[in-house]
Each structure stands twice: as C-alpha cells, then as structure tokens.
Structure 1
Amino acid sequence: MEAALAAAARHADLGAIVHLDAARGRAAARDPAPGAFAGVPTLVKDLGGPFAGFPMRAGSRLLADDPGTADSDLAVRFRAAGLCVFGTTTAPEFGLSLASEPAVGPICRNPLAPDLTAGGSSGGSAAAVAAGIVAIAHATDAGGSIRVPAACCGLVGLKPGRGSIPAGPGYGNYLGGIASELAVCRSVRDTAAIFAACRGDTRGPFPPVAYAPEGPLRIGLLTETADAPRLAVVEEAARALEPHGHRIVPIDSAALLAAARESARLFAAIVAVNLATLPLDFAQAEPMTRAARDLGAAMTGAGVWRITTDMALVSRDLWRVFEGVDLIVTPMLATAPPPVGSFPTQGTDIQAHFARMTAFAPLAALANISGFPALTLPFGTDKGLPLPVQLIAPMGGEERLLAAAALLEREDRWQHPFAIAGLAA
C-alpha cells in the first residue's frame, strides 16, 4: 500500500486519480480479507459502485462530494477478495465519452504516451494500472468503457455478459441492462481471478449460463473496421489459436457489422434516455451532457419501447452468427489512441460526438446491446503502442474467452513498460 501511494504521487501528472484517501487505504491494508487478492491495493472508478467511504461523483459537479455509507454487492465482493481501496479514478461526466477528461478535472493521460488519451470511460483506472500504481482497478462498461481504455493502455479488459456480475442490491436494470462492472488488469490470470471472485448469485433477472471451454473451437474473424496494423493483428491472433486445435471458419461479417451499427445507434439512445430520468439540475452540466439529456427527454414512450425491441433483435442476430462459430476475433479499436482532446464535450452536437466514438471503437457497443461477454487484450505493438484484439463469446461464455485469451497471452507479444508498485521490475 505504501508503494502504491508513493506511485500515485509520482504519477500525479497522469490525472488518473480524482480522490485519494491514504488513511483509509492503510487501514484496509492492515487487515485485508483473506481472498485471492489479500492485501492488494486497488482503486475504484468514479462511476458505478458505490464503495462505502468513497465519493462517486460520476465526473460531474452535479453530484455531492460526500463519501457513500454503503457498499454495492460488487463492492462487497471486491473487499471479500482482499482488495484494499484507497481512492477513485477519473471518469468523464456520466461516462459520456471514450476519453476521461471531465470539465471538473483532472485530465487523464495515457502512461504509454501522455499526449494521447487513456480511453474512457474507465480511463483513470486503465491509466493507474498501466502506470503500475495498482495491478488491478475497478471499471465499468456500457459501450466499451472497460475494453476501450484497456486497449489504449495495453491491458486486459473483460466486459462480463449480462447477469453474470451483481448489479445490486437494488437491481434497477440500469441503462437497460447494457452496463457491466468488473476491472481492468495487467494479466488474464488476474482477470480470471477477479471474475471468479465476483460472478454469480446476481439476484437479477438474467441468470448466467456458463459455457466452459470444450473441445476445439470454431474461430470466426472480422478483418474490417480498422487500420492496417489493427487488422493484421486480428488475423495473427486467430492463427495463433490454430496450433491448439482450434480452427478458423468463415463468418457472416455483413450480419455482424449490421448488428454493430445498430448497437451504436441504440447505445446513444439508451444513454440519452437514462440521463433524462436522473433527478438532477443539469444547468451546471457539461454542454454535451445537457445535449444528451435533452435528446432523451424528447423521446416518446413508444420510442423507448422500440429501443427495447431492437435490443432483443440485435441479440438474436448475434446468436445467429454464433450458430457457425464458437468465438469471434475482431479489432478492438479502429486506430491508435488519439490525442488528448479528441472527444471534446464542450459542444452540443451529440450525434457527431457519438459518431466520433463509434468510428474509434466501431464494435464496442455490440457486446453491451446484445448482452454477450467480450474481452480485449494486447497482441503486439505498433510504434510503441499496444495492438489490441477483441474476443466475443456467446452468452455465458466468459470462461471460453478467458481460456482463449490465456493462450494468446502466452505468445508474449506485449510487455508492460511500468513495473507494479511494490514489486520487482
């Protein structure tokens, strides 16, 4: 914990941490629960949770800076795993960006290249883990917000399938079920361990069905929607699975891309509707947040009902793709992480804002809208930056994702430039 606190101070210019409580962190480290992560320092995202003792402001001046008094079900499991929380990480206002640069600050930067974005909306968590401040940090994903920052920073990010991670204690179907919570990590091993510690008994309407690894997998790959280096690494990752008995088979890429485009549209509408339901005075919100809220407020009941119907159709269409494959490998990002400031929220053109984000991560929202699990990990480098790939599995297929990701990780195509605080380089 002392090493993590020192690293947090040393990397303060990254803007990864928005609230730090050294006393609470030290107290947790003196008496951690005897779980898989006993005594491991961690940070939690300023969006999601809540975690008792830490304010959750969602990157906004609209929410009070008061520490919460109760843990979410997920927070209880984090602590039972032995994780010791000492602060919260930077997120954009209400998670409305694929960069973590809220107007209230700080501006989060990528440890691998500080002039570039660390991604969003879990950018602060990803930057903290990539810089070695902590080895694991809480993150949430409603439209790529675990996977995009992990991809930008060379980390492993699992977006669990709908219903596999608790969303309580008050299960309100937040964001129509598209949001998941877990973590960003430096290894598949740690990702599997935190998923095992947190999964199951979610007390919600989506009981998980586990699909454990079984026999050779049929691998479908999508080599579209990205620049040349990111497309090449998708095929390389799929080929790397072949020596383990898995085989590449053709995929209906047109159907997959159509589902992805529809998912991006639905994600924008769901976020807007959710903002319109929040009992807050948006006068002091960022301009883009106000624009999104206005978009949602203008939507009719029939329009909202249509969204829920269309979400079901996206899930159906993705299931049809999986009739011929067991795992899909895709690009995670279309390009390298762009410079800080590439996703500004000072304007009010909400449609253009969503279009910019979709262009950067065109296949991110598909897993959220469908409810399917997806994972990103680095599988190479380009000019010193990670080349990430995304793996998508059928509902309940997290173990399948983790098993395939572990095989790819063994290829050792990416090395973290920063050691974890407190551990040898």
Structure 2
Amino acid sequence: MKLSEYVNYDATGLAALVTSKQVTPSELVQLARVAHDEVNPSINAVIEFYEDAETAAGANGGLFHGVPFFRKDIGFTEAGRLQEKGSRLFKGHRSDTDSYFFRRARESGLRTIGRTTTPELGMSLLSESILHGITRNPWNLERSTGGSSAGSAAAVAAGITPISHGSDGGGSIRIPAAWCGLVGLNPSRGRISGGPNSQDASFGLTREFVLCRTVRDMAAALDVFSGPYPGDPFIIVQPNRSYVEELLQPTGTLRVGVARTKWGAVDLEPEVLKAVESTATLLEEMGHTVTDIEPPYESIEYTRVMLGRTRFSSKSLEEAARDMGRVITADTLEPINLKLYEYGRNSPGRAGDVEEVLRRMRFRVGEAIHSFDILLTPTMPMMALPHGGINSTINPTLSAEEFKAADAANIAYTGVFNVSGHPAVSLPLAQNASGLPIGIQIVGRFGDEATLVRVARDLEDATPWRHRRPKTRAGAK
C-alpha cells in the first residue's frame, strides 16, 4: 500500500484490508511512521512515536483489526508509558495503571503507537504548552487545532492515523474536531468506563473517547469502548443493538431545537451562523420539526462550576507533586495554571457546594431541552483562532477568574453538556470562505447515542466531507 492510499482510508476501511490479508498491521504502522515523519515536523502533533510501535499489541480480528492509534498525553493511561500531561511538573512521569479503555482498544485490534500533545493539564482551548510547544492546525499552520485533544486532532486531520484517543471536560474533543474538520463525539456521562481508577472523573464532567473522520468509525468506536465495569458508580442504559447496526436503521421524525443566538459573551461569527441555518434547513427538508431555542443556562453558572472545581484540582495536583517528589512553582506550572492552583488552594468551600451548583445547572438545562429529541448548535462560535492570545495558559496577564470567564464565553455551546451529561457530537458540515472547517454540534438525549449515530449518518450522506483535504497532509507530495 502506498502512503497516498493509506491516508484516504478510515479506520473501518483499514481494518477490512487487514482482515482480508491485503495489508498487515505492521505495514500499517510503518505507513503511519512514514506519515508522521513527513508531516509532524510541520504540525507538532505527536510527542512520542513508540520505538516498539511495529510490535504494538492488538488482537487479531476485532472492529479495528491492525489500525494504528494514538493516546492523548492526559487522561486514560497505558502502564509503563510516559504521561506528562503537557506539563513540566510531570516531565518524565510514567503511569503504573493500564486503563480499561486501552485494554478495550487492544481487544478491538487497535495498535497504540505513540502519544499526542495537549495544552498543560488540558486547561486551554488552544494548542500550546511550554513543555512541547505549539501544535499547528493542518488546515492553516497559523491557527490553533483547539484544545485540549490538540495533537490527536492534528494527527488524524493530517493523515498520520485515521483515529485517535481524546478526552473532553468542557469541549476538548468537540473543539478540535470542529477546528480540524473531524467527527468528535463526547458520549453520555457513564457510557465509557473510567476504570480502574478514574470512574466518573471531575464530578462527572470529563469523558473520554476518540476523534475520527467518519460516522461509521464513530459508531464502531462506541461498540468498542462502551460498557460498564465492576466498580463503576452507576450503569447507564445499554443500547438495544450495536451502534454499527444503528447505521442501517431509519431515523424517524425528530423534534429539533436550534440555537441561532449566542449562549455566552461571544457573538456568533456570520459564517458559523450561516452553517447552523443551512443545517437546520437540511434537517427540516429531511422531515424533522425545527424550533428555535433560547440559551438554557447563564454563562456565569458555568464559570462558577469551573472555579469551584479548582479547590479539588489544586489538592490533587499538590498530592501528585508530593508523590513525585516535586514542587509546584513558576518553573513547573505555566502562569495561568499556577494562578488557578493558588486560587483553588486559597478558596474556602466544600465538595457539597460544587455538587449543588452542578445539580441546579443540570436540572435547569435538562428541563429547558427536555421537549426536544436533538439540539442543533454551533460547536464553537468562531473558526480556529490564531495561536496565543488570552485563552492560552502561557499568557501571564489574566487572573484566574478572568481566564475562566473568557474560557466560559468561548465554550458556551460545549461545556454545558459536560455538566448535563448529554451526548454531543461535532460534525464537519461546513467551511468558511478561506477553507477553514466549521463544526456543527448535534446533542442527543441522555443515553441516546443511537439517535446521534443515525442523524450523523444522515447528515454525512447529505453533506459529504471526505473529499475535503487540509493543506498539510501526509502523502500529498
């Protein structure tokens, strides 16, 4: 197989080639390495391509038989591998835990071949850190890929692998999916087990999944990674059939709530609003009932949630530093993260206070959107931002409160569903005049990824995106 052929396949397609013995898993890893060597110097997405990648473990057979896969350098872990979280504080740190997620990855046939960049501690919607530098968007190298699954998104968009691990605590899968022209699902709370040591992380706000290029890969990944384990705090309703089978099912007529107004302090860019309106028209033409919706919450509520969490993240960061024999200073944490650490350490309050803010917000949002089967919103109010600026944790000018307020304004359409627990997917349904991707978010009922799979399939069929190519892409020479 040539590199120019490899980059045109999604993960499902590559697995089929392996199963039919047209290509071997080691050949696919070798192609991923060639792709990496060609484009990674330009985009800085992969911080470690494992020396033993060609012999990476993975089951024979499975939905992703032999497909190369990356791990985001924060969140779920592989035992014995480096996990530095984009931070000098964790430089050289190796995990001793094998997450259930990566056990399932291997059982599905995926070969994890390296790790990708993230902003420090996953705390920025931009794609830069002091430890690993700037990760550049393959569509425009002067623009951010989005955080915090920055390197994973850039690697998939540029063709190094067709699928990669991501995590989402406020939009960190969906934001880079929107800015890099990918499919990015944040599943329902509890759909993906965090075991054995991170079940229902961060008050249930953080979930982990993948970034990919096609809806059928998203459906297959749901089949691979979904399901409970002993010790999970609750078991979400299980699907009636596999998600791959859902691709063959009719959608039916849905009640669609459409967000055409801003939900935070940031205005919608005109081309983003146009993309939302075009998608609403398309859904209406498919026979669905479309109704405009107002913001289901106030931005200040989400800011309070994020600031409240710092009390507990500061404590866990302090414990991690102590366990590693390290200290938290300006030499180990970036300016904003150091301010957030100090803010949390000096803030009074109890876990119950944060839980109550979350409870009220979940109730309010759930009540506001209950009458709809799905919601249609922008993923982000703007296209990919330039590198740097106030949203970077390297920026020393903002206070902790100012940074979180600015963050809440930008992720107004994504973070709310981390709080509520609803599944939400960003689809690459549009581009602006200069060719930058525009992500459109579809939100489902809690536990109803099946409807999202069917609707996403319908939109992919009606508005195909596989022909779109970023400027920086492996095999293009």
TM surpasses 0.5: yes
Secondary structure in 2 matching 1:248 = strand
Query: Residue in 2 aligned with 1:287?
Result: 335
- Would the aligned equivalents of 1:132 and 1:421 in 2 still touch at CA under 8 Å? yes
- Would the aligned equivalents of 2:339 and 2:399 in 1 still touch at CA under 8 Å? yes
Letter in 1 for 2:401: Q
Q: Does 1:360 pair with 2:410?
A: yes
CA-CA distance at 1:268 after TM superposition: 3.7
The 1:230/1:202 distance shift into structure 2, 3 A limit, reads farther
Q: Does 1:207 pair with 2:258?
A: no
CA RMSD of aligned residues (A): 2.3
- Would the aligned equivalents of 1:139 and 1:181 in 2 still touch at CA under 8 Å? yes
Farther-moved stretch of structure 1 (74-83 vs 270-279): 270-279
Runs (4 or more) in structure 1 with deviation over 4 Å come to 210-214, 418-425
Secondary structure in 2 matching 1:11 = helix
The equivalent position to 2:302 in structure 1, one of 263, 274, 294, is 263
Q: Does 1:305 pair with 2:352?
A: yes
Once residues 476 and 215 of structure 2 are traced to their aligned partners in structure 1, the CA distance between those partners, rounded to angstroms, is 20
Query: Residue in 1 aligned with 2:458?
Result: 407
The 1:375/1:11 distance shift into structure 2, 3 A limit, reads same
Q: Does 1:332 pair with 2:382?
A: no
Secondary structure in 1 matching 2:56 = helix
The 1:208/1:214 distance shift into structure 2, 3 A limit, reads farther
Once residues 90 and 64 of structure 1 are traced to their aligned partners in structure 2, the CA distance between those partners, rounded to angstroms, is 13
Secondary structure in 2 matching 1:161 = coil
Structure 2, unaligned runs of 5 or more: 1-28, 241-249, 263-267, 322-326
Query: Residue in 2 aligned with 1:273?
Result: 312
The equivalent position to 2:256 in structure 1, one of 187, 200, 219, is 219
Query: Residue in 1 aligned with 2:219?
Result: 192
The 1:412/1:372 distance shift into structure 2, 3 A limit, reads same
- Identical-residue share of aligned pairs (%): 33
Deviations 1:187-232 (A, max 9, x none): 1111111111110114422321257786311000000121111112
CA-CA distance at 1:247 after TM superposition: 1.3
CA-CA distance at 1:148 after TM superposition: 0.4
Once residues 369 and 416 of structure 2 are traced to their aligned partners in structure 1, the CA distance between those partners, rounded to angstroms, is 14
- Would the aligned equivalents of 1:91 and 1:124 in 2 still touch at CA under 8 Å? yes
CA-CA distance at 1:360 after TM superposition: 2.6
CA-CA distance at 1:173 after TM superposition: 3.8
CA-CA distance at 1:62 after TM superposition: 1.3
Structure 1, unaligned runs of 5 or more: none
Once residues 323 and 349 of structure 1 are traced to their aligned partners in structure 2, the CA distance between those partners, rounded to angstroms, is 37
Query: Residue in 1 aligned with 2:69?
Result: 42
Once residues 448 and 147 of structure 2 are traced to their aligned partners in structure 1, the CA distance between those partners, rounded to angstroms, is 25
Q: Does 1:371 pair with 2:413?
A: no
Q: Does 1:18 pair with 2:47?
A: yes
Once residues 304 and 454 of structure 2 are traced to their aligned partners in structure 1, the CA distance between those partners, rounded to angstroms, is 32
The equivalent position to 2:281 in structure 1, one of 234, 239, 250, is 239
- Would the aligned equivalents of 2:307 and 2:344 in 1 still touch at CA under 8 Å? no
The 1:189/1:57 distance shift into structure 2, 3 A limit, reads same
Once residues 110 and 471 of structure 2 are traced to their aligned partners in structure 1, the CA distance between those partners, rounded to angstroms, is 19
CA-CA distance at 1:32 after TM superposition: 4.1
CA-CA distance at 1:96 after TM superposition: 0.9
- Would the aligned equivalents of 2:73 and 2:85 in 1 still touch at CA under 8 Å? yes
Query: Residue in 2 aligned with 1:147?
Result: 174
Once residues 281 and 352 of structure 2 are traced to their aligned partners in structure 1, the CA distance between those partners, rounded to angstroms, is 42
The 1:385/1:174 distance shift into structure 2, 3 A limit, reads same
The 1:246/1:424 distance shift into structure 2, 3 A limit, reads farther
The 1:20/1:116 distance shift into structure 2, 3 A limit, reads same
Once residues 271 and 95 of structure 1 are traced to their aligned partners in structure 2, the CA distance between those partners, rounded to angstroms, is 13
Larger radius of gyration: 2
Query: Residue in 1 aligned with 2:109?
Result: 82
Secondary structure in 2 matching 1:241 = helix
Letter in 2 for 1:416: R
- Would the aligned equivalents of 1:122 and 1:149 in 2 still touch at CA under 8 Å? yes
- Would the aligned equivalents of 2:227 and 2:238 in 1 still touch at CA under 8 Å? no
The 1:397/1:241 distance shift into structure 2, 3 A limit, reads same
Query: Residue in 1 aligned with 2:430?
Result: 380
Secondary structure in 2 matching 1:87 = strand
CA-CA distance at 1:171 after TM superposition: 4.2
Once residues 207 and 181 of structure 1 are traced to their aligned partners in structure 2, the CA distance between those partners, rounded to angstroms, is 16
Query: Residue in 1 aligned with 2:20?
Result: none
Secondary structure in 2 matching 1:262 = helix
